[in-house]
Amino acid sequence: MADPFPAIAEAAATGETAEIFDDIRVTVGVRVVNLVWRHLATIDGALPWTWSAVKPLYAQGMVDRAAVTFRTRMTLPVLTSLAGEQPPSVDAVLASYDHSNTINLFALGALTTWLRGEVAAKGGPEAGPRLPAPDLVLPKLALEEDTPAETWACVLRLNRFGDPRQVILASMYRHLAHAPGFLHKLEAALALVEADGSLARSIDANKRMAYEQASLLARAIAADRSPRASEIETSVSAFVDAAIGKMVTICRAIRVARGGVSMHNGVVPLP
């Protein structure tokens, strides 16, 4: 399956795009530039405008504070245990996406509500300390042509959980493709919570909660409206609603099932 949204590969970025990618890595605190930013780089003027609009939410710790609150209240499906020895890259990928997806959910969710004119009428965001970012090296993002057919098929099957239309191919599964045994174990665990409905209920509940917080965060956005606002809103909302919105719940549930984090926020050592 080709990515429905074109994107600039990190290695191919040049000039202003490369500079913004560097700034995103430093500010968000991860070594990988998430797909949403790489897609915005394909729309003329969208990446610099979007990043300048939401960067203060990251820099002032507003999204970090929202993430901390969110994690104490979020609903998670209970997966069968995913503990056990796996390549180190598995936990690196999970930790990186757990961090970046959660804070991106609030920054980009705030931008979506701002662009839609759905900003909260009162209240406002609070600054806070930045969350420690996982400084981890991730494996290469797998490409279909370089991946065994059965492993790639598993990536696509996993991508249907929480989004049967597969609007966007979640990059996390492509990073995990280097551990096919773990992918198959994960598929079996997610199939159970999809069948009993707890996966869908958790995703929906967390998206509703995140939207409420994002509408408050939107009050902190101070930007002139972009001439490409309609395109930016369409793209960003697709990621917030279809990809990031589901993966925040799925990734956190996986980490709990791995034993890497507690049900609500606290980090515990892996066995």
> How far apart are the C-alpha atoms of 154 and 165, rounded to whole Å?
16
> At residue 40, does pLDDT exceed 90?
yes
Q: How confident is the model at residue 125, as a pLDDT?
A: 83
Indicate whether this model's pTM tops 0.95.
no
> At residue 157, does pLDDT exceed 70?
yes
Q: How confident is the model at residue 102, as a pLDDT?
A: 96
pLDDT band with cut points at 50, 70 and 90 for residue 94: very high
- As given in the structure block, the two tokens for residue 194 are 């999809």
pLDDT band with cut points at 50, 70 and 90 for residue 1: very low
Work out the mean pLDDT of the chain and round it to a whole number.
92
> How far apart are the C-alpha atoms of 236 and 105, rounded to whole Å?
10
Of 92-96, 174-178, 262-266, which gets the smallest average pLDDT? Answer: 262-266
> At residue 30, does pLDDT exceed 90?
no
Mean pLDDT of 241-245: 92
Share of the chain above pLDDT 70, in %: 95
Neighbours of 212 (CB within 10 A): 12
> At residue 177, does pLDDT exceed 60?
yes
Mean pLDDT of 97-126: 93
> How far apart are the C-alpha atoms of 232 and 36, rounded to whole Å?
10
Q: How confident is the model at residue 267, as a pLDDT?
A: 38
> At residue 215, does pLDDT exceed 60?
yes
Give the single-character DSSP code of 12. G
Q: How confident is the model at residue 123, as a pLDDT?
A: 81
> How far apart are the C-alpha atoms of 178 and 141, rounded to whole Å?
9
Q: How confident is the model at residue 4, as a pLDDT?
A: 63
> How far apart are the C-alpha atoms of 36 and 44, rounded to whole Å?
15
Q: How confident is the model at residue 87, as a pLDDT?
A: 93
pLDDT band with cut points at 50, 70 and 90 for residue 150: very high
pLDDT band with cut points at 50, 70 and 90 for residue 219: very high
Q: How confident is the model at residue 268, as a pLDDT?
A: 36
Instruction: Find the farthest-apart pair of alpha carbons in the chain and give their distance in angstroms, rounded.
Output: 52
> At residue 269, does pLDDT exceed 50?
no
- As given in the structure block, the two tokens for residue 95 are 């930790």
> How far apart are the C-alpha atoms of 29 and 99, rounded to whole Å?
9
